[in-house]
């Protein structure tokens, strides 16, 4: 064991010395989030961090440039390679550090290190609300803010009906002898009856009370209409949604369209596969012409809904981490891996392979994966509530209710003011004193004294 460790140490040391004495390595890469991204005049990303860690272990200097034709590398009909693989073959670059898939064709023309990422094929689609807990589906037509708004409107209307019933002399002519019909409890019961479209008596007699009642009935009818319309829409969409968790489920349905990047390695996998399920998937994509030009376009279509985008799982995981309305299927097929490419016979490959294995064993590769694939689902709540009605959708209805309640209270005060003026003329008193006395009698501050005075007069 000690001899083995000594040999490994000497190998790593000799590799470090060899690379340290060599020229500056030319590294080609390609812009692809989160592997390589621009940050001002510099680059950042998973692959940039990876090559930085490798250079520290092996002691080499390097310079990075983007591939000229923005391609990974494929052979044309004349047998010439383009992209990063082409630059390695032509000698324009010493290494290609990017999410390069290891394939049999590429291994014939370049050497590739041990993989630094393992992945496979999967698919993403829009996350349906019914795929989660539906215990409170009756509340789903309205957002949480909307339900809070309805509750506030209910409380304010009940309070307004109570105040109008107390203030208006038509509703409560004589506080000392007449019974007050619209108590606070009955006011809330009355507007609750309006919400159930049944009503609950007695009904208001004054113009102010009838106005408040009519506005609340209009509010309740329109609110219920919006609720049931949105509820029906949600039920209709849920009845069309199906559970898709595998490629077989995807191939056995025609409700959701699906596709992949045109002329990519994923398309070639389904085209050349002998598996009947995968061949049906390829036939569907050919028949529907559901190919996309790029991964970004496929992710956008999946976000819009009714489309499943098929691609490499590691790229799809990044999309799910960035866009929380998406979900990735658990099934992963056609396992593949990403490696660093170098010219045939390059002495760098073995040393880089050992260094990558050391980074994997120390957990550094896992750390880089967590760093660049970290979830940033800041808008998840808004995405979930996209189909629910919000207060701003019905702000006109709430404004109508508020205006009606305000006018109703104003009319009740005018009714009481008119009565106070008439009483002031008859009793030759100040209108303000009569109005203050009436308000005191109706809201109880002088109610006890008035009853006591009435009782004393009766005794006398």
- The DSSP-derived string for 218-240 is HHHHHHHHHHHHHHHHHHHHHHH
Q: Scanning the structure block, which residue is given the tokens 């209108």? A: 431
List Cα–Cα distances, 24 to 42, 55, 64, 93, 95, in angstroms: 18, 11, 10, 11, 11
Binding annotation for L-glutamate: 99, 101, 106, 265-266, 312
Binding annotation: 99, 101, 106, 265-266, 312
Nearest to 167 by CA among 421, 440, 447: 440
Burial class of residue 405 (count of CB atoms within 10 Å of its CB; 0-12, 13-18, 19+) = buried
Angle CA(28)–CA(34)–CA(36) in degrees, nearest 5?
20
- Residue 98 backbone dihedrals phi, psi, to 5 degrees: -170, 175
Give the DSSP letter of residue 366. H
Enter the tokens of residue 418.
């008119």
- The DSSP-derived string for 153-220 is HHHHHHHHHHHHHHH-TTT-S-TTTS--S--HHHHHHHHHHHHTTS--SSPP-SHHHHHHHHHHHHHH
Enter the tokens of residue 87.
């630059």
Residue 149, classed as helix, strand or coil, is helix
**In b/e form, how buried is each residue of 291-324, taking b as 16+ CB within 10 angstroms?**
bbeebeebbebbbeeebbbbbbbbbbbbbbbbbb
Q: What share of the chain is helix, strand, coil (3-state, %, to 5)?
A: 55, 15, 30
Enter the tokens of residue 14.
């000799």
Residue 102's Cβ-side half-sphere holds a number of Cα atoms within 13 Å equal to 18
List Cα–Cα distances, 374 to 44, 122, 367, 369, in angstroms: 15, 19, 10, 8
* Whole-angstrom distance, CA of residue 98 vs CA of residue 357: 17
Enter the tokens of residue 211.
């106005």
* Whole-angstrom distance, CA of residue 259 vs CA of residue 307: 8
| Count of residues making up the chain | 460
- Residue 420 backbone dihedrals phi, psi, to 5 degrees: -65, -35
Residue 295, classed as helix, strand or coil, is helix
Inter-residue contact 69 to 80 (CB < 8 Å): no
């Amino acid at each position: 064991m000690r001899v083995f460790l000594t040999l490994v140490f000497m190998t790593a040391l000799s590799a470090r010395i060899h690379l340290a004495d060599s020229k500056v390595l030319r590294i080609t890469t390609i812009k692809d989030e989160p592997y390589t991204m621009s940050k001002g005049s510099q680059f950042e990303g998973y692959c940039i961090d990876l090559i930085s860690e490798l250079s520290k272990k092996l002691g080499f200097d390097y310079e990075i440039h983007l591939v000229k034709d923005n391609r990974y590398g494929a052979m044309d009909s004349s047998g010439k390679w383009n992209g990063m693989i082409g630059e390695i073959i032509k000698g324009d670059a010493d290494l290609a550090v990017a999410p390069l898939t290891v394939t049999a064709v590429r291994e014939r023309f370049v050497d590739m290190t041990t993989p630094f990422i393992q992945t496979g094929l999967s698919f993403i689609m829009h996350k349906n609300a019914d795929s989660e807990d539906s215990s409170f589906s009756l509340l789903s037509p309205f957002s949480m803010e909307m339900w809070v708004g309805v509750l506030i409107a209910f409380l304010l209307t009940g309070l307004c009906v109570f105040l109008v019933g107390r203030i208006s002399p038509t509703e409560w002519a004589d506080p000392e002898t007449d019974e007050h019909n619209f108590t606070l409890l009955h006011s809330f019961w009355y507007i609750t009856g309006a919400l159930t479209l049944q009503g609950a008596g007695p009904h208001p007699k004054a113009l102010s009370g009838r106005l408040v009642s009519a506005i609340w009935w209009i509010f309740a009818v329109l609110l219920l209409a919006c609720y049931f319309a949105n509820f029906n829409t949600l039920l209709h969409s849920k009845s069309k949604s199906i559970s898709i968790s595998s490629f077989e489920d995807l191939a056995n349905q025609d409700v959701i369209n699906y596709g992949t990047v045109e002329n990519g390695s994923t398309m070639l996998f389904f085209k050349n596969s002998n598996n009947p399920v995968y061949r049906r998937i390829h036939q569907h994509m050919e028949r529907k012409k559901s190919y996309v030009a790029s991964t970004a376009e496929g992710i956008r279509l999946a976000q819009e809904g009714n489309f499943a985008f098929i691609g490499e799982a590691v790229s799809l995981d990044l999309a799910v981490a960035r866009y929380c309305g998406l979900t990735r299927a658990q099934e992963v097929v056609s396992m593949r891996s990403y490696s660093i490419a170098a010219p045939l016979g390059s002495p760098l490959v073995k040393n880089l392979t050992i260094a990558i294995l050391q980074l994997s064993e120390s957990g550094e590769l896992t750390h880089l994966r967590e760093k660049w694939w970290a979830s940033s689902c800041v808008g998840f709540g808004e995405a979930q509530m996209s189909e629910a009605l919000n207060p701003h959708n019905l702000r006109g209805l709430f404004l109508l209710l508020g205006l009606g309640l305000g006018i109703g209270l104003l009319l009740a005060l005018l009714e009481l003011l008119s009565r106070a003026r008439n009483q002031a003329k008859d009793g030759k008193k100040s209108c303000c004193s009569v109005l203050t006395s009436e308000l005191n009698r109706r809201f109880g501050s002088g109610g006890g004294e008035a009853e006591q005075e009435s009782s004393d007069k009766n005794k006398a």
